[in-house]
Chain A
């Protein structure tokens, strides 16, 4: 009996993987960026299935609203408008297909070895999950140090990126 959850999972998984394939197979660079966005949507859907709606919205907000916009603008700035169609790389499809099949079999094997897979965390997601996440981010016993280090990392990214992209005198 196929449950609704399985159907929805299959849908989102298809979006994610299909989008990824589309990125590689697209003829125009801009289309590749659009397939990537579809893939991000799929990931957001998977987060919702995992009962983590905050992360789903975060995915939309940061990946689609930030990273994808950045990539698309980079494409538009460097390639001009509507660049020529790039040829699809067809010579390596056989090798790629073999590698993919191998990885799938490996994954199926690993998943079915009980000793290697721990048990999935069971238990309800707390209704005040966001509050606990917020608490965890600032507790010295939890994730305070990574939180502050993240800000230093963002500082480095900001200064570094603007340094590279600055207008040369």
Chain B
């Protein structure tokens, strides 16, 4: 086959070629498969790492521009054109910094926390579907796909608690508590919003979710998508929900006492998590690798998915540059008193509407309902809920304002 055809289905072809080479060296089929998969795993784990180096630069540039300044520039430094290698320079710097260990720390746990947080951040990528099935672009398609991602994320809370506790520092502990309380509170709306795509697709597997999105789920379920997006922003610790790091309040929170590459590990893990959250959102709500010409050239799936994820990541970056940090009680109140009830209501409404549409459709002329009809009804249901919510919030605001006025005038006797 010619070069274009080779590249079109790149990963399968490279894998086959490597398999032949290894077989030629005398490895048994089993070991060949293991080695090829191992190398594939290195690519899947290393790709996001390389992408993150670029994304750190991108984020700093964007935030700089939002703040009316240039961001990293290349004024006679060795940071490459437009300072593209800035993140690489930072990484090299961090690798050569001395480890400063606080005296009272718990030696073992202190070291486990940064290792764990990076390992978990990397482990999530095993199920991300970069392309259509059978194109060698997903490390493994577990049928508990999204649940695997969510379950692993719960290990991140642990590494925060471990970091905070083992540092033997009040502020680290306090930071860990606040971060964990916040993340745990947003895990619920995230799970509940996640149930909606799972429901509409009938599977938790990543490829299955993409398969069911002839109409992207963001059209069928815009409110759950919004809830998931906000909850995800909190989970990855992005402003306005940045309690974990909270620069000006508790000076880096639970990782105060970490210096050099140990801090670098947390920073790296945070960016990797941002990226994986963007990818997961793209799979769940934006149709994953779907796009024009993917059937002919599966490698385009990688391109489409990356573009969508990059878009989501950009939105997260804009949040970072443009929003202030919310107070912890506001953050928790927003989750428990707004997002969770809304997510519960949306779950119920979507379940009901979709089932009714399905049943009515089955009685009609054709056996099944066209995806666009279904999408239309679901979108309408979402719109109605949005209007009702807006009206409820307006009433609440009116009542609160009346109370404030009453209090003000009550002082005058």
Contact = CB atoms under 8 A, between A and B. Distances in A.
Q: Do chains A and B touch in the complex (CB under 8 A)?
A: yes
Interface string B135-178: 00000001110011011111101100110011011100100110
Contact of A82 (B155, B161, B165): B165
B180 A69 contact: yes
A24 interface: no
Given A54-B147, A61-B147, A65-B187, 4 more contacts: A30-B109, A69-B157, A76-B173, A76-B176
Categorize the interface residue count of chain A: 20 to 34
B147 to A, nearest CB: 5
A77 B162 CA distance: 14
Interface of A: 28, 30-31, 34, 37, 53-54, 57-58, 60-61, 64-66, 68-69, 72-73, 76, 81-82, 130-131
Contacts of A31: 109
A131 B168 CA distance: 48
Contact of B170 (A28, A66, A81): A81
A53 B203 CA distance: 14
Interface of B: 104, 106, 109, 142-144, 147-148, 150-155, 157-158, 161-162, 165-166, 168-170, 173, 176-177, 180, 184, 187, 202-204
Nearest to A82: B168
Contacts of A76: 161, 165, 173, 176-177
B143 A130 contact: yes
A60 B153 CA distance: 10
Contact of B148 (A34, A57, A72): A57
Main secondary structure of the interface of A (DSSP, over half): helix
A53 B144 contact: yes
B161 A69 contact: yes
Contacts, number: 71
Contacts of B155: 60, 64-65
Nearest to A53: B144
A54 B198 CA distance: 14
A69 B164 CA distance: 13
Contact of A73 (B144, B170, B177, B204): B177
B204 A130 contact: yes
Contact of B158 (A69, A82, A130): A69
A37 B113 CA distance: 14
Contacts of B203: 130
A37 B202 CA distance: 32
Nearest to A127: B143
B168 A57 contact: no
B187 to A, nearest CB: 8
16 contacts: A54-B147, A57-B148, A58-B151, A60-B154, A60-B155, A61-B150, A69-B154, A69-B157, A73-B161, A73-B180, A76-B173, A81-B170, A82-B165, A82-B168, A130-B204, A131-B202
